[in-house]
Amino acid sequence: MKTSMRKPELILFDYGNTLVYEPAFDREAGFRAVLEYCVENPRGIGAGDLARAYASALERLMAASRAAGADLMDMCAKRLIFENCSLIFSLDLIRLERVFWDAAGPGKPMPGIRSLLRELKARGIRTAVLSNMNFREENLKERITRLLPEQEFDFILCSCEYGTRKPAPEFFRLALIKAELEPEEVWYCGDNPRADILGAHDAGLFPVHYACPELPCPYRSPADELEPDFPHLCVSRWAELLSAIDSCI
């Protein structure tokens, strides 16, 4: 559903499957990389052991927090496992998280996103990121800067840093406060119908549903699917987003 739109002062982006594509995580590969920095492993714990313990802890801890509309740092589960196994590492937890992420889910820019970011900058439209993310904000910033070097995001916000997650309106309102803008001045672009499109609409932002046909999301839940019955824009190519901006009143 499309309606007359106001040109955005800022476009907020989701991260996964909007800015960057990540395949389904290979947790064992992530732990193999982490164990390279292990200096004490008295029980001879292997990557497969860690992957299985992590899956169990993550399912329990994350399910409980998300049922309450909250979010939890991924490293809480890892720290629990590492300390239960008496593992000592030469890196701190933040850097271990980065090692794990890079090995378990290497990312690549979504098709055309780098050109879009350059074009938005040329048009004077600000950009920022609001992501449901269990990895630390500083690690997300590092990854985005590395994969999208042309980006000049005003800010990057991760749900786990605030204990709440999309579609909670207060998470979107936090972005508005940081941007010093009103809801009608901001578009939100993401691939998840419930978290991104419904969430943005409920917070008063204009929702843009981005659905890339070449790279469907490998981890979205069926519970996230819905057919919005409110004004929004649906695009499968970033050129369509630019055309929509050109047609704004």
| Phi, psi angle pair for 156, to nearest 5° | -135, 120
User: What confidence score (pLDDT) does residue 4 get?
Assistant: 60
CA-CA distance, 134 to 65, in Å (whole number)? 12
pLDDT at 177 exceeding the cut of 80: yes
For the chain, what is the mean pLDDT? Answer: 91
User: What confidence score (pLDDT) does residue 203 get?
Assistant: 97
CA-CA distance, 218 to 196, in Å (whole number)? 17
CA-CA distance, 171 to 188, in Å (whole number)? 12
pLDDT at 27 exceeding the cut of 60: yes
**H helix intervals, the chain:** 27-35, 47-67, 74-84, 93-104, 113-122, 137-147, 169-179, 199-202, 238-246
Average pLDDT for 24-36: 95
User: What confidence score (pLDDT) does residue 136 get?
Assistant: 93
Predicted confidence band of residue 62 (pLDDT cuts 50, 70, 90):
confident
156 versus 25: the higher-pLDDT residue is 156
| Phi, psi angle pair for 134, to nearest 5° | -95, -5
Any idea which residue has 């207060």 for tokens? 170
Q: Is the pTM of this model over 0.85?
A: yes
User: What confidence score (pLDDT) does residue 224 get?
Assistant: 65
User: What confidence score (pLDDT) does residue 109 get?
Assistant: 97
User: What confidence score (pLDDT) does residue 215 get?
Assistant: 85
Average pLDDT for 200-218: 91
User: What confidence score (pLDDT) does residue 76 get?
Assistant: 85
pLDDT at 3 exceeding the cut of 60: no
Ranked by mean pLDDT, the top range of 29-43, 61-75, 208-222 is: 29-43
pLDDT at 44 exceeding the cut of 60: yes
